[in-house]
Amino acid sequence: MMKRIAKHLPHYLSLAGILIAGVVGFLVFSYERAFQIAVAIGLALAYVAWGIIHHAIHRDLYLSVVVEYIVVASLGLVVILSLIFRA
């Protein structure tokens, strides 16, 4: 169990870093629409990249997996962008 956690830890720490940076970015750039849009797009791209790298390292990278990350990232991006443009 510990071995498994140790194996995945660097991956999930990097993911946590990306996601925390996103939340902090929105807190720091509140009311700065251009920065928020840039942060949202950056987050979506970083999430897809993380997914691809993570699965490539674990040797279970398939097209359906990439599509799944792209779709989840797109949902997040659409949700955040709609709110930014409606704010």
Residue 3 CA to residue 9 CA, distance in Å, equals: 10
Choose between 2 and 27: whose C-beta lies nearer to another protein. 27
Packing angle of the helix pair 2-28, 33-57 (nearest 10 deg): 170
Backbone angles phi, psi at 67, to 5 degrees: -60, -40
Residues that bind another protein (CB under 8 A): 12, 15-16, 19, 22-23, 26-27, 30-33, 36, 40, 43, 47, 50-51, 54-55, 60, 62, 64-65, 67-69, 71-76, 78-80, 82-87
Distance of closest approach, residue 16 Cβ to another protein, in angstroms: 7
